[in-house]
């Protein structure tokens, strides 16, 4: 009863970065609790990679692409076999869909969107941002298993160098009532905000929709995702998928570059936990400068293209 079970998500044959992060912190918790790290995956192909992150066993059910009901049943079965003290889900769309469903089935609680985790005095302790990052709550999860969803990018992903995990096959659970009709990928090749290490965001300072190209060009050159303020989303310049903030995505990348964003409290709520913040704004009094590590008072239409060029040059070396 001291182990940790991690829901390991596979994309294009590999573990998602957020799942590798969850496995890494899961391994540390398992060490502290004196138990074993195991994983649940929808494909035995995950066994080798999960093993490198320290998983000894991978529970596998042939559940195919994600669907709430079959995954809930399969995870509940994995929990009943592994008897873990802790179950972790990465805070991806699917992880956030599944964790509360599994928790309700097991009659236990969930610490949601945590950015710190530790095992102390036989309990799982987590820190989580609340009130859109305006406060941090430290919580103790008392049920068995204790469930948490981890905020993407908040934990490092570090291999432990283990061999392939042992595969334990689970029975394939019953049908799903929810059917996937189709998947729309509106902007092919664009990176998702939640997992991005670098985000370049634009605000109303861009003046019009087509000027988002200034943001896209830099994002593309630097290998980051495109973010946006609500003002630009409401104006129809860019899809809501890109909105950062209280009513958009909450992100914590390594680097957040904001250009032409004033820094309203609702925007800050979504990005203030970024590790490094660069702001470009022509108004020296813009509130975004209060949280920026590096602030540039200037014209984004001059600075962004210059920066894109510098980045391209730097990458070429």
Partner 1 sequence: MNSVVCISHVPDTEARIKIAGAKVDEAGLKFIVSPYDEFALEEAIRVKEKSGGDVTVVTFGPDRAQQALREALARGATKAIHVKGESGDADALGIAKVLAATIKSVPHDLVFFGKQGVGTDNGLVGPMVAELLGYPQVNVVTKLEVGDGRITAHREIEAAEEVLEAPLPAVVTAQKGLNEPRYASLKGIMAAKKVAIDTKSIADLGLDEGDVLRQRVVVVSLELPPEKSGGRKIDGADANAAAQEILNYIRSEAKAL
Binding site for ligand FAD (CB under 6 A): 203-205, 229-232, 243-248, 260-262, 264, 266-267, 270, 280-283, 286, 299-301
Q: What is the C-alpha separation between 294 and 212, in angstroms, rounded?
A: 22
For residues 81 and 266, which CB has a smaller minimum distance to partner 1 in the complex? 266
For residues 158 and 190, which CB has a smaller minimum distance to partner 1 in the complex? 190
Q: What is the C-alpha separation between 73 and 306, in angstroms, rounded?
A: 53
- Shortest distance, position 308 Cβ to ligand FAD, whole Å: 15
For residues 51 and 248, which CB has a smaller minimum distance to partner 1 in the complex? 248
Interaction with partner 1 in 234-293: which residues (CB under 8 A)? 240-241, 243, 246-248, 250, 254-255, 257, 265-266, 269, 272-273, 275-278, 280, 284, 289-293
- DSSP class of residue 210? G
Residue sitting closest to ligand FAD (CB): 245
Sign of CA dihedral 236, 239, 242, 243: positive
Contact 228, 202 (CB under 8 A): yes
Kind of pairing between the strands at 116-120 and 123-130: antiparallel
With CB under 8 A as the contact rule, the residue among 12, 184, 236, 316 that binds partner 1 is 184
Interaction with partner 1 in 26-55: which residues (CB under 8 A)? none
- Select from ligand FAD, partner 1, none the partner in contact with residue 231, using the beta carbon and a kind-dependent cut-off of 5 to 8 Å: ligand FAD
State whether residue 144 is helix, strand or coil: coil
- Shortest distance, position 290 Cβ to ligand FAD, whole Å: 12
Instruction: Collect all residues with Cβ–Cβ distance below 8 Å to 102 and sequence separation of at least 6.
Output: 72, 75, 76, 79, 87, 147
Q: What is the C-alpha separation between 240 and 140, in angstroms, rounded?
A: 34
């Amino acid at each position: 009863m001291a182990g940790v079970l991690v829901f390991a998500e596979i994309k294009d044959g590999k573990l998602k970065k957020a799942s590798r992060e969850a496995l890494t912190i899961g391994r540390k918790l398992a060490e502290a609790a004196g138990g074993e790290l195991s994983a649940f995956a929808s494909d035995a192909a995950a066994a080798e990679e999960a093993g490198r992150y320290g998983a000894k066993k991978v529970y596998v059910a042939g559940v195919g692409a994600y669907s709430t009901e079959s995954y809930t049943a399969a995870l509940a079965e994995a929990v009943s076999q592994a008897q873990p003290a802790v179950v972790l889900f990465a805070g991806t769309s699917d992880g956030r869909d599944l964790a509360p469903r599994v928790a309700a089935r097991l009659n236990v609680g969930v610490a949601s969107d945590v950015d710190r985790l530790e095992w102390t005095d036989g309990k799982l302790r987590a820190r989580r941002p609340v009130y859109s990052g305006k406060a941090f709550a430290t919580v103790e999860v008392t049920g068995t298993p204790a469930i948490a969803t981890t905020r993407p990018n908040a934990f490092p992903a570090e291999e432990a160098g283990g061999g392939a995990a042992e595969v334990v096959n689970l029975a394939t659970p019953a049908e799903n009532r929810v059917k996937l009709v189709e998947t729309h990928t509106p902007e092919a090749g664009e990176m998702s905000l939640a997992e991005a290490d670098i985000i370049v965001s634009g605000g109303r300072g861009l003046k019009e929709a087509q000027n988002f190209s200034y943001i896209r060009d830099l994002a593309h050159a630097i290998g980051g995702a495109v973010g946006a303020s609500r003002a630009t989303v409401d104006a129809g310049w860019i899809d809501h998928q890109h909105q950062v903030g209280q009513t958009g995505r909450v992100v914590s990348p390594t680097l957040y570059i904001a250009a032409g964003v004033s820094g309203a409290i609702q925007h800050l709520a979504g990005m203030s936990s970024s590790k490094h913040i660069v702001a470009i704004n022509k108004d020296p009094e813009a509130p975004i400068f209060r949280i920026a590590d590096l602030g540039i008072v200037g014209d984004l239409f001059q600075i962004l293209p210059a920066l894109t060029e510098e980045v391209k040059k730097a990458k070429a070396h």
